Amino acid sequence: MISKLVMATNNENKLREVREILKPLGIEVISQREAGADCEPEENGTTFAENAEIKARAVWETVNVPVIADDSGLCVDALDGRPGVFSARYAPKGEECEKLLEEMSGVPDSERTAFFECCIVLIDGGGVRFFSGSCYGKIGYQKKGANGFGYDPVFVPCEEGSSGMCFGDRTLAEMSSEEKNRISHRGRALKNFYKYLSGERSAE
């Protein structure tokens, strides 16, 4: 079982969440900076999986430790799946919620469905493997909560595939990190990753 890996990211929030989720499972996560691999490759893939692999490969080429990368984003049904793989570049950092609320103004409750998607890729001597996770929900009408990052203040998570059964009306930013990690796209992808490591399931 892997006990130490490098995460190919410069995103401190993703790093914190991945550490929180994997630490209790006995896996230490080192940042790419700590591993001496300070790279930021162009994410020019067209899918979350392609972009995750681009990031992990760039780091794997310079370190001799298993590498994971996360590529993730928010897909909004009323916007035909946007911002999707462009979630990080949708608006200037810190203004993504305002821009999304603006684009969603006038969209009725029943059409505010959206989901977060996360692809975790693992690269080590054994090759490349993918693990994904989703978190379904709705886009709210205003920013709420101070936890989390990115689109969390406008995303109200709901049961997967639901007809609208939400976990109350709290946004992800109003949840503790433990609550978010239990239901989030990243938490679910990492659960699949951990099950793979412990031999309970195969990669995707």
- Residues catalogued as catalytic: 71
Candidate segments 22-30, 72-80, 99-107, 137-145, binder of ligand IMP by CB under 6 A: 72-80
Q: Is 181 in the site for ligand IMP (CB under 6 A)?
A: no
In 3D, which of 203, 181, 195 has the Cα closest to residue 123?
203
Window 107-146: contact mask with ligand IMP (x via CB under 6 A): ---------x------------------------------
SS3 at position 138:
strand
Output 160 or 198, the one with its CB closest to ligand IMP.
Answer: 160
What is the C-alpha separation between 120 and 128, in angstroms, rounded? 10
Q: Is 203 left (phi over 0), alpha (psi -120 to 50) or beta?
A: beta
Which residues are within 8 A (CB) of 105 and not within 5 positions of it... i.e. 6 or more apart? none
Residue from 137, 148, 157, 187 touching ligand IMP (CB under 6 A): that is 148
Window 52-71: contact mask with ligand IMP (x via CB under 6 A): -------------------x
Which residues are within 8 A (CB) of 135 and not within 5 positions of it... i.e. 6 or more apart? 115, 116, 157, 183, 184, 185, 188
Size of the site for ligand IMP (CB under 6 A): 17
Give, in degrees to the nearest 5, the angle at Cα 2 between 124 and 5: 65
Residue from 133, 137, 140, 150 touching ligand IMP (CB under 6 A): that is 150
Rg over alpha carbons for the chain, rounded to the nearest Å, is 17
Binders of ligand IMP among residues 85 to 114 (CB under 6 A) are 87-88, 96
| Interface residue list for ligand IMP (CB under 6 A) | 11, 43, 71-74, 87-88, 96, 116, 148-152, 184, 186
